[in-house]
A and B are shown apart, each in its own frame.
Chain A
Amino acid sequence: MPVSEHEVRVLTKRFDLPNSASIDTYLAHDGYQAFEKALKQMTPESILEELKRSNLRGRGGAGFPTGMKWGFVPKESPKPKYIVCNADESEPGTCKDRLLMEKDPHQLIEGILIAGVVVGSHQGYIYVRGEYRYLLEILDRALEEAYARGYLGKNILGTGFDFELATHTGAGAYECGEESALLESLEGKRGIPRIRPPFPAVVGLYGGPTVLNNVETFSAVPAILREGGEWYAQLGTPRNGGTRLFVLSGHVNRPGVYELPMGFPLRKMIEEVGGGILGGKKFKAVIPGGSSTPVLTADALDTPMDFDSVAKAGSMLGSGAVIVMHEDTCMVKVALRLMQFYAHESCGWCIPCREGTDWLSKTLHRFHSGGAREEDIGLIEHLAKNMLGRTFCPLGDAAAMPVISFVKKFREEFEMHLSGRPCPFESKQEPATVSR
């Protein structure tokens, strides 16, 4: 893994140790101390206070404050409560949770255990995307170690607290990363989203109150309890605590996963951390938070990379996947490829999403292959805007928002495709082949 002098390594601090995934390495480097503290010295209320002070916000995409989310779980519940870790990691551009599980699975387990203590849950699941089979093996080994050392199971550390934790594999479906579809999938069904409210914190897995967070979110919790919420908060910017694992990909010289403070400037991320644009070319555009977030152009390069600043710049920090594109990139092609993805992954349950993504994909394909007419630009906007807020789950928005941004920011490129000839960028690139 490439490193940068700008990195602040909190969640990745053990990554370079030999056998970083083993419980012995973990225990020798602060492992399970936060959990022990949570169990023996803290109350659920004081843990929640610490989390709120930390300004930790969900790393799965939406940036919802974690302390607040855990606080929504009712204290009394006739049904068992559950902790579910979202390790579905399927947002194009994103490959950070993978490293957190591969290099430091016990940090994740400890974070999940702390959630169990806070809400009074005794069962957790880690839902891992099917393609990450090797991680299932690493996690299962780590779980076995944790059971053997008494950090999982019955009467943990002699305190009377019980907690069972298991891995669960998906089998290929982007939509199963959406929290309610994930719960359906975990119950053995098709990953169709559920109507909300009620939110999972109140009615989740098997109808019980459920805490559901991203891998990186849970993994940040042990350090927060160990070092204090205030300490974590000051690593970042106001209301955006801590560090974030940014995934730099696309046209940079040093793509990679880098742990940087929240609010790290975008330009510096591309130029210094990523080593600048590939082949000395000119920067053209960046998708700042995974494929579902609107594209940004050079005028946004001074944006601090935190949830609020990126929102102000007109996009979203999302999953922290920063996808960089240089001058030779055809934006119609990129918009098309992403729409093909959403059309393929739409679960088909609600019509605006199923039909909208398919129509958009076909219209964008017309542009790219040279068959579009002038009014098709308006058609793209019309279709996409009619999806916004009208779908059962946010996948529809995730598909519509980026394409709206592509048309808005690169309208002239769409117009360039109206000549009746195929893509004008193709002379600089290989021909397109996707036609699904």
Chain B
Amino acid sequence: MQFTPQLEDKLKKLMRNYPIKRSALIPMLLFAQDEQGFLSQETIAEIAGRLELTVPQVEETISYYSMLRKKPAGKYHLQVCTNISCLLRGGEELFEHARKKLRLAPGETTPDNLFSLEEVECIGACAWAPAIQVNYQFHHELTPERFDQLIRELERSRT
């Protein structure tokens, strides 16, 4: 299977960092997922082959890491933190608001594949709570109003 030249370049650099091939596995999976949206069977087999691993070895590794997924998420994957610092500053209310606003249950994706929603553990933004991540982008000190505004902006950038 073919990866894009950018990804190939990234993977080539990555492989140079380690004395054993398997060390590259987790970054490789994540970088491939970033480009393809999720880890398909084809991608898993390809990566297993490159690192001289079996498919089950790769699968058991994937199942351990919460960011690695075998199904697509929305174009904008909304991750709302409800852990302690966010909880104390309205993180749960924000998550509830997001569920209603997007009419999504956790783990679901909107029919147009634009948004998916997940409740997450501490994302390292505790001093700027409540916080969310949209893909890798942090949004700090969110209120329901600012959340709605963010959704509007993301909807506009759809095209």
Residues of A within 8 A of B (CB): 80, 89-95, 97-98, 125, 129-134, 164, 166, 168-174, 185-191, 206, 247-251, 255-257, 287, 291, 321, 323, 325, 329, 333-334, 337-338, 341, 344-345, 347, 430, 432-434, 436
B26 to chain A, nearest CB (A): 5
Contact present for A186 and B23 (CB under 8 Å) = yes
Closest 3 CB pairs of A and B: A172-B67, A188-B22, A172-B66
Cβ–Cβ < 8 Å partners of A189 in chain B: 22, 61
Cβ–Cβ < 8 Å partners of B129 in chain A: 249, 255
CA distance A134 to B128 in the complex (A): 17
- The stretch that binds A, out of B1-9, B109-117, B118-126, B149-157, is B118-126
Contact present for A89 and B83 (CB under 8 Å) = no
Interface string of B13-54 (1 = CB under 8 A from A): 000010111111111011000000000000000000001000
Contact present for B92 and A93 (CB under 8 Å) = no
Cβ–Cβ < 8 Å partners of A321 in chain B: 85, 126
Contact present for B119 and A434 (CB under 8 Å) = yes
Q: How many residues of B contact A (CB 8 A)?
A: 45
A184 to chain B, nearest CB (A): 10
Residues of B within 8 A of A (CB): 17, 19-27, 29-30, 51, 60-61, 64-68, 82-85, 87-90, 92-93, 95-96, 119, 121-129, 133, 136, 138
Contact present for B93 and A287 (CB under 8 Å) = no
Contact present for B124 and A90 (CB under 8 Å) = yes
Task: Please list 24 pairs of residues, one from A and one from B, whose beta carbons are closer than 8 Å in the complex, sorted by A's number.
Answer: A90-B121, A94-B126, A95-B125, A97-B124, A130-B65, A131-B67, A164-B17, A168-B27, A169-B26, A169-B27, A170-B26, A173-B65, A185-B26, A187-B20, A189-B61, A250-B88, A251-B88, A291-B84, A321-B85, A323-B85, A325-B88, A338-B84, A345-B121, A430-B90
Cβ–Cβ < 8 Å partners of A172 in chain B: 65-68
Cβ–Cβ < 8 Å partners of A97 in chain B: 124
Cβ–Cβ < 8 Å partners of A255 in chain B: 85, 126-129
CA distance A129 to B27 in the complex (A): 11
CA distance A90 to B83 in the complex (A): 11
Known A92-B126, A173-B66; contact A337-B26, beta-carbon cutoff 8 A: no
Contact present for A188 and B126 (CB under 8 Å) = no
CA distance A94 to B122 in the complex (A): 8
Contact present for B23 and A187 (CB under 8 Å) = yes
Contact present for B22 and A173 (CB under 8 Å) = no
Of B23, B24, B84, which contacts A323 at CB under 8 A?
Answer: B84
Cβ–Cβ < 8 Å partners of A256 in chain B: 127
Cβ–Cβ < 8 Å partners of A248 in chain B: 127
A278 to chain B, nearest CB (A): 9
Contact present for B87 and A249 (CB under 8 Å) = no
Contact present for A337 and B20 (CB under 8 Å) = no
A103 to chain B, nearest CB (A): 14
B53 to chain A, nearest CB (A): 8
Contact present for A131 and B92 (CB under 8 Å) = no
Contact present for A90 and B65 (CB under 8 Å) = no
Of B30, B82, B87, B127, which contacts A169 at CB under 8 A?
Answer: B30
Contact present for A98 and B124 (CB under 8 Å) = yes
Cβ–Cβ < 8 Å partners of B30 in chain A: 130, 169, 171
B101 to chain A, nearest CB (A): 14
B120 to chain A, nearest CB (A): 8
CA distance A406 to B64 in the complex (A): 30
- A99 nearest in chain B by CB position: B127
Contact present for A174 and B121 (CB under 8 Å) = yes
Cβ–Cβ < 8 Å partners of B128 in chain A: 95, 255
B51 to chain A, nearest CB (A): 7
Contact present for A131 and B82 (CB under 8 Å) = no
- B137 nearest in chain A by CB position: A134
CA distance A337 to B84 in the complex (A): 7
B31 to chain A, nearest CB (A): 8
Of A188, A251, A337, which contacts B51 at CB under 8 A?
Answer: A188
Cβ–Cβ < 8 Å partners of B67 in chain A: 130-131, 171-172
- B33 nearest in chain A by CB position: A171
Cβ–Cβ < 8 Å partners of A169 in chain B: 26-27, 30
Cβ–Cβ < 8 Å partners of A341 in chain B: 83, 121-122
Known A91-B122, A255-B129; contact A432-B84, beta-carbon cutoff 8 A: no
Contact present for B84 and A430 (CB under 8 Å) = no
CA distance A333 to B83 in the complex (A): 11
Cβ–Cβ < 8 Å partners of B68 in chain A: 171-172
CA distance A169 to B51 in the complex (A): 17
CA distance A325 to B85 in the complex (A): 9
CA distance A401 to B5 in the complex (A): 50
- B63 nearest in chain A by CB position: A190
CA distance A98 to B136 in the complex (A): 14
Cβ–Cβ < 8 Å partners of B89 in chain A: 249-250
- A176 nearest in chain B by CB position: B65
B127 to chain A, nearest CB (A): 5
Contact present for B85 and A92 (CB under 8 Å) = yes
- A185 nearest in chain B by CB position: B26
Cβ–Cβ < 8 Å partners of B124 in chain A: 89-90, 94-95, 97-98, 129, 131-132
